[in-house]
Structures are given as structure tokens and as C-alpha cells.
Amino acid sequence: MSTPIQRILGEMTRSPGVVAVFIVSKEGFIIEKASTGTLTIDEDAFAAMLTTVYGATTQLGEELQIGKPETTTLEYPGHYILVHDLGENLLAILADKSRAVLGRLRYELRKQAPRISGAL
Amino acid sequence: MTGGVKEGEFSLSEKIEVPSGLINAIVAGYQLALNKALGAGAAAMTQLLVRDIGDFLEGMLEEIGFELHDIADLKEDIPKAFKMLGISDNVEVEIPSDGEASGSKYIIKIHDSIFKPVARLLEKKGIKFTLSPESFIAAALVRKAIRKVKPDAQVRVKIHPQKSADEPLVIEVIVR
């Protein structure tokens, strides 16, 4: 039986191009995830890296006195990674660039973030 | 200066006196720089360091004659390792009843540590000591003991926030 969090993440994976969705603790480990296929990643390393990247973007904003990042977008040749702050945790989407629409992904993150925070 | 130690290897058997103040300054420097660059993200580095340093530490402790017994013996073995390393003479360990089960938590309390000056400095600056060397050592020992019965076991480390550097450092090692 799936939990409310698993259901929300499952819904998110149905958006075009989404490969995987993660909830990552700011301590650096994965709390929950959903993917459209089998993911062969080192989850602990991924979670720690994601948290440190997000930490760096936050510090950059503080240094420049431009506030906290709303959504961090990382763009690679074939993929996007989007990261959204949930307070104690982060919500991240890994998406296939050829099928995903960036605006839709951002909308999805902002729409689902409060639901996820409420369900955690 | 490093005598018989091979390039790219670390050793505890050859002792070279280094002032603890220098070591503390280096540890504090890394923590301050990481905190500046990564903010709260610096905490995630702890998980990576446990993995990367764990294997080195295991070998180094064996080299100086430290013998790790079973999970139930961690209560004595962890304090012994801290004493042999000259880090602390006063360490308490709480072992969960089902030691190797996923989610089990080991609590390690370190009362006096040679790294206390770092904790004091960071406390003054309001920075969490996420790179505590004590946490890597404790996690490496727990991981090694658990892997004797569960070879693919992973551990996570959580360092409890200290209200004051004079309180014991409380490290939680969680089995995955």
C-alpha cells in the first residue's frame, strides 16, 4: 500500500519527460523517491551531492544579498535537474530534456511542494 | 619525514608529534570554509566522508593493534579505539538491542576530546561542527562491526546539536 508521499511522487513522474523525483534530507540522504524506470545511481552520493549543490546556491544568494533560491535548475546536455526547498528537505526532479517542458516542471514543483511538506 | 610509509597510504604506526593546536586549526579551517561555501549543505559532506574515510580508518586502526570484536562488544571497543588514538579517555556507547537491523541507532557520547577547541570556536561563530573527526571514527567502527554479520550494511551519521562545547559530543550512527 502506497503512502501519501509515494502517491504524490508517483503523480509527478507522470509529467512528460520526468525520469525520477526525489525527496532528499538536508543531512544528505534520500527519504523517498519515485522513478519511471530502473535507476542505477549511487543514491547516497547523489543525495549528498544534491544537498551540497543546493547549499552552494543558497550561500551564493546570501553573498550577493539577492535572497534564497526559489528553484535551482541544472541543465545538462540531455537532462534537467530541478531542486526546490521544502524546509528541512529538498524536492528534486530529474527529467529528460528532449521530452520535458521546463515551465511545466517548475509549475509541477511549486504545485506539489506544499502537498509534500504537508504529508511529510 | 614519513619513513616507511608508502606514498598515497596513511599510517598510525609511525608517530610524528604534531601540535594538537595545529590539527585543530586545520579542522576548524576546513569547517569554516565548507560552511561558507555550502551553508547547511556542509552537513551532507559528513555522509560522503564516512564512506570515503571509513575504509582508511579501519586499516589504520588494525595497524596499531586495535581489534574490533562483535557488535555487542562495541560498548568497550569504541572507547578503547578513542583512547588508543589519543582522542578521548571518556566515551560512552549505547548499543541498540537489534544491532544490525535497519534503522538501529547507536549513540556515542564523547565527553572530552582533543577536538574540543574546534567545537568551542565553532560554537562562538554559531556554526555546527559537521566535520567532527570523532563522528567519522565512531561511524567507521560501527560500520565495520555490523559488516561482520551484514556485509553490505551502510551507516549514516547524525551529530546532535550541542548547546555548549562543554557538553558531550553526541553522535548517532544509524544502520541502513
- In chain A, which residues have their Cβ closer than 8 Å to the Cβ of B43? 26-28, 51
Residue B1 has pLDDT above 50, yes or no: no
pLDDT tens sequence across B76-131: 999 999 999 889 999 999 988 887 788 899 999 999 899 999 999 999 998 988 88
* Cβ contact, residue pair B42, A52, below 8 Å: yes
* Cβ contact, residue pair A55, B39, below 8 Å: yes
Least reliable range by pLDDT among A29-33, A51-55, B66-70, B92-96? B66-70
pLDDT band at residue B11 using 50, 70 and 90 as cut-offs = confident
Q: What is the pLDDT at residue B8?
A: 63
Residues B146-167, mean pLDDT to the nearest whole number: 83
Q: What is the pLDDT at residue B69?
A: 86
* Cβ contact, residue pair B43, A27, below 8 Å: yes
- In chain A, which residues have their Cβ closer than 8 Å to the Cβ of B51? 44-45
Q: What is the pLDDT at residue B136?
A: 85
Count contacts between A and B (CB, < 8 Å). Answer: 62
**Percent of chain B, pLDDT > 90?**
35
* Cβ contact, residue pair A28, B44, below 8 Å: yes
Comparing A102 with B10, the larger pLDDT belongs to A102
* Cβ contact, residue pair B47, A48, below 8 Å: yes
- Domain regions of chain A by residue span: 4-115
* Cβ contact, residue pair A51, B37, below 8 Å: no
Q: What is the pLDDT at residue B55?
A: 75
Q: What is the pLDDT at residue B156?
A: 85
Q: What is the pLDDT at residue B149?
A: 87
Backbone angles phi, psi at A75, to 5 degrees: -115, 125
Residue holding cell 549505547?
Answer: B94
Closest CA to B159 of B125, B126, B143, B136: B136
- In chain A, which residues have their Cβ closer than 8 Å to the Cβ of B46? 27-28
Q: What is the pLDDT at residue B3?
A: 47
Residue A38 has pLDDT above 70, yes or no: yes
pLDDT band at residue B5 using 50, 70 and 90 as cut-offs = low
Q: Is the dihedral of CA B173, B9, A50, A9 positive or negative?
A: negative
- Which amino acid appears at position B7 of this protein? E
A59 at interface of B, judged by CB pairs closer than 8 A: yes
Closest CA to B104 of B154, B57, B70: B154
Residue A4 has pLDDT above 80, yes or no: yes
Q: What is the mean pLDDT of chain B?
A: 86
CA gap B116, A21 in Å, rounded: 40
A8 at interface of B, judged by CB pairs closer than 8 A: no
Burial grade of B161 (CB within 10 A; 0-12, 13-18, 19 or more): exposed
Burial grade of B123 (CB within 10 A; 0-12, 13-18, 19 or more): middle
- Which amino acid appears at position B64 of this protein? I
A69 at interface of B, judged by CB pairs closer than 8 A: no
pLDDT tens sequence across B23-40: 999 999 999 999 999 988
- In chain B, which residues have their Cβ closer than 8 Å to the Cβ of A27? 43-44, 46-47, 156, 158
Q: Which of B30, B32, B34, B48 is best to mutate for the A interface (most A CBs within 10 A)?
A: B48
Q: Which domains does chain B have, with CATH numbers?
A: 20-175 (3.30.1380.20)
- In chain A, which residues have their Cβ closer than 8 Å to the Cβ of B156? 27, 29
* Cβ contact, residue pair A53, B41, below 8 Å: yes
- In chain B, which residues have their Cβ closer than 8 Å to the Cβ of A53? 41
* Cβ contact, residue pair A28, B48, below 8 Å: yes
Residue A34 has pLDDT above 50, yes or no: yes
Residues A29-44, mean pLDDT to the nearest whole number: 89
| Homologous superfamily assigned to A4-115 | Dynein light chain 2a, cytoplasmic (3.30.450.30)
Q: What is the pLDDT at residue A81?
A: 97
**Other C-beta atoms lying within 10 Å of the C-beta of residue B83:** 14
Residues A3-18, mean pLDDT to the nearest whole number: 94
